[in-house]
Structure 1
Amino acid sequence: MTIMASKIISTHPAVFLLMGIPGLEHLHIWIFIPFCFAYTLALLGNCTLLFIIRADTALHEPMYLFLAMLAAIDLVLSSTTLPKMLSIFWFGDLEINFYACLVQMLFLHSFSIMESAVLLAMAFDHYVAICKPLHYSTVLTGPLIARIGMAAVFRAVTLMTPLPFLLRCFHYCRGPAIVHCYCEHMAVVRLACGDTCFNNIYGIAVAMFIVVLDLLFVVLSYIFILQAVLQLASHEAYHKAFGTCVSHIGAILAFYTPAVISSVMHQVAHRAAPHVHILLANLYMLFPPMVNPVIYGVKTKQIHERVLGIFLRKNV
């Protein structure tokens, strides 16, 4: 009786099958190459940023501490999905344990929300540095930065923790094949039978809440920053103030642009081939972790000098 009861309760499959990029299966081995290159670049770039910021006490300032948070989040975000994706493309390893899929989903969506929060915190850092320079050291203290980091984690975990428990309750009668490269929430929901209306509304509401709220405050910060910059009399001060924001604007565009393009494509291009939507979703996962270290390494003078110093010492 106990065995029969457990079979009735356990309505989910033991494993899901991640199908990779449907329609491009014959190109999976070739797709592996740019994905592997992007993951390697993300690992090297973000680890280098973390190493430099940790090793150089002159960089233990709010701006660089937020940058270290961003690099750590990008490392986790890319490592949550890319290793499994690479095994799909190279080895054809499609299986993923049901609970491993839920954990991957929790990490994927939680750290995406954390990245959005850190980008907002960096906008606040630039606002205080440019608009309230005399109060910078008293406003952005170590305890405040720690609280901002904990708040980013708390918000993400609170919003995303219900998803695995909700998905565990469904009966998956549409088979185990997930038409995606990783366990994205809505891709898993499509396999479930029963009333998935709450999941659909909750997923969309959280995404809209995060994107709209965070972007709204980022835009407001830059409106105030622009007003302050335009009032600067010195051209040197003008360019210096603007230069401090360029890297952050690049990181914002790298994070939000693929997400917005993917959302628009889902709304206006219903007849587009499935692999188009999946490639765009993968771009959202690949692009920020890969380009953020490059953006900050090139545009941030202090980081740029430290990286050059490391390579010059090695050459010597």
Structure 2
Amino acid sequence: MLNMFKNTTSSLTFLLTGVPGLEAFHNWISIPFCCLYITALSGNSMILFVIITEPSLHEPMYYFLSMLSTTDLGLSISTLVTMLGIFWFNSREISFNACLAQMFFIQLFTVMESSVLLAMAFDRFVAISNPLRYATILTESRIAQIGVAIVTRGTVILTPMVLLLKRLSYCRSHVLHHSYCFHPDVMKLSCTDTKINSAVGLAALISTAGVDSIFILLSYVLIIKTVLSIASPEERHKAFSTCISHIGAVAIFYIPLISLSFVHRFGKQAPPYVHTLIANAYLLIPPVMNPIIYSVKTKQIRRVVLKILLPKES
């Protein structure tokens, strides 16, 4: 029986979906998606290059920013092949094991991004509330430990969620509703009871993005309390200005993520293109917008980027 189960899952193939109802226009739709991927890959690579090569940026805030860019690169690469494969070559088939692997990395980089945003909120709290001890609290070794903890946390939480899909039988339609493998989407195709899988998936979401969002909110409550105790309006403005980029990154990450989770759980009657648009926004908006936000709003990053791109003018 066990061998039969293994053969069944190893030979199982899913069919990915592009934009429902607009299959005839996939070549044209691929153009904006290509632009978004190019922007995400080049922007985050530029941020990483700038931070690595510029000694003045070897500070805790920029180390965390490099972690954010790394997770954004991973998130973009995780979906690049299947999404553009559908739009360019109508390559819709994906094996069960490849689907699980893609799902794991998409979820892993999502959890890592949420964790990095929490670490960045803690970084801003320490910088504003205790600036004299900032460098001694967030040392390079401690930041490295935080990075290892972020990867370990995501792996430990997500591995059971993905492996539990192997115990299910898939006797319904094998057509997925996205251009990549997404946990609730795969789970819906099973004809086996999925209560355990649903509970584990919900627990993973709550224990990662749910907990992180609460602590990020708490960090900003403490930051606001600290800033309001500062007498000088100029110092208040300066303190708040250091948080603007991070607040933008938090918003563009959590709003699509929460929207996608709600649509999958409560929006069953919504048109298929709603699921598709929100799913693509969830994956593409943060990697595209984060480099733009930090390049525009962070003077040190902007200065080095302009120095690289426009050496004569700078």
Q: TM-score, normalised by structure 1?
A: 0.94
The CA distance in 1 between the partners of 2:312 and 2:166, in whole Å, is: 52
User: CA offset at residue 6 of structure 1?
Assistant: 4.1
The answer on whether the counterparts of 1:29 and 1:90 sit within 8 Å (CA) in structure 2 is yes
The amino acid across from 1:226 in the alignment is I
Cα deviation code 1:110-166 (max 9, x no counterpart): 110010000000000000000011110111111111111111111100011113322
Cα deviation code 1:233-271 (max 9, x no counterpart): 223222211111000000000100111223344455432
The CA distance in 1 between the partners of 2:266 and 2:185, in whole Å, is: 19
The CA distance in 1 between the partners of 2:153 and 2:7, in whole Å, is: 30
- Which residue is 1:224 aligned to? 222
- Which residue is 1:131 aligned to? 129
User: CA offset at residue 312 of structure 1?
Assistant: 1.8
The answer on whether the counterparts of 2:43 and 2:292 sit within 8 Å (CA) in structure 1 is yes
The amino acid across from 1:106 in the alignment is F
User: CA offset at residue 26 of structure 1?
Assistant: 2.5
- Which residue is 2:282 aligned to? 284
Q: Does 1:253 align with 2:251?
A: yes
The answer on whether the counterparts of 1:11 and 1:170 sit within 8 Å (CA) in structure 2 is no
- Which residue is 2:292 aligned to? 294
Q: Which among 77, 100, 103 is matched to residue 102 of structure 1?
A: 100
- Which residue is 2:30 aligned to? 32
The answer on whether the counterparts of 1:11 and 1:172 sit within 8 Å (CA) in structure 2 is no
- Which residue is 2:120 aligned to? 122
> Aligned ranges for residues 139-178 of structure 1 at < 5 Å?
139-178=137-176
Where does structure 2 lack aligned partners over 5 or more consecutive residues? none
Q: Helix, strand or coil: the match of 2:102?
A: helix
Instruction: Rate the CA distance shift 1:275–1:314 in 2: closer, same or farther, 3 A.
Output: farther
User: CA offset at residue 313 of structure 1?
Assistant: 1.4
Q: Helix, strand or coil: the match of 1:203?
A: helix
The CA distance in 2 between the partners of 1:142 and 1:292, in whole Å, is: 23
The CA distance in 2 between the partners of 1:264 and 1:163, in whole Å, is: 19
Cα deviation code 1:269-310 (max 9, x no counterpart): 432211211210110000000000000000000000001111
Where does structure 1 lack aligned partners over 5 or more consecutive residues? none
The answer on whether the counterparts of 1:174 and 1:192 sit within 8 Å (CA) in structure 2 is yes
Cα deviation code 1:44-65 (max 9, x no counterpart): 1000000000001111110000
Instruction: Rate the CA distance shift 1:9–1:120 in 2: closer, same or farther, 3 A.
Output: closer
The CA distance in 1 between the partners of 2:163 and 2:212, in whole Å, is: 26
Cα deviation code 1:21-51 (max 9, x no counterpart): 2223223222211111110000010000000
The CA distance in 2 between the partners of 1:31 and 1:276, in whole Å, is: 16
Instruction: Rate the CA distance shift 1:55–1:96 in 2: closer, same or farther, 3 A.
Output: same
The CA distance in 1 between the partners of 2:112 and 2:59, in whole Å, is: 20
Q: Does 1:10 align with 2:1?
A: no
The answer on whether the counterparts of 2:184 and 2:264 sit within 8 Å (CA) in structure 1 is no
Q: Helix, strand or coil: the match of 1:11?
A: helix
- Which residue is 1:74 aligned to? 72
The CA distance in 2 between the partners of 1:177 and 1:169, in whole Å, is: 19
The answer on whether the counterparts of 2:178 and 2:279 sit within 8 Å (CA) in structure 1 is no
Count of paired positions: 313
The CA distance in 1 between the partners of 2:278 and 2:174, in whole Å, is: 23
Q: Helix, strand or coil: the match of 2:67?
A: helix
Q: Tell me the percent identity.
A: 50
Which stretch of structure 1 is more off in the superposition, 124-133 or 268-277? 268-277
The answer on whether the counterparts of 1:24 and 1:275 sit within 8 Å (CA) in structure 2 is no
Instruction: Rate the CA distance shift 1:177–1:264 in 2: closer, same or farther, 3 A.
Output: closer
Q: Which among 184, 194, 197 is matched to residue 196 of structure 1?
A: 194
- Which residue is 1:20 aligned to? 18
Q: Helix, strand or coil: the match of 2:8?
A: coil
Instruction: Rate the CA distance shift 1:267–1:188 in 2: closer, same or farther, 3 A.
Output: closer
Which stretch of structure 1 is more off in the superposition, 250-259 or 225-234? 225-234
The CA distance in 2 between the partners of 1:50 and 1:42, in whole Å, is: 12
The CA distance in 2 between the partners of 1:154 and 1:262, in whole Å, is: 25
The CA distance in 1 between the partners of 2:2 and 2:122, in whole Å, is: 54
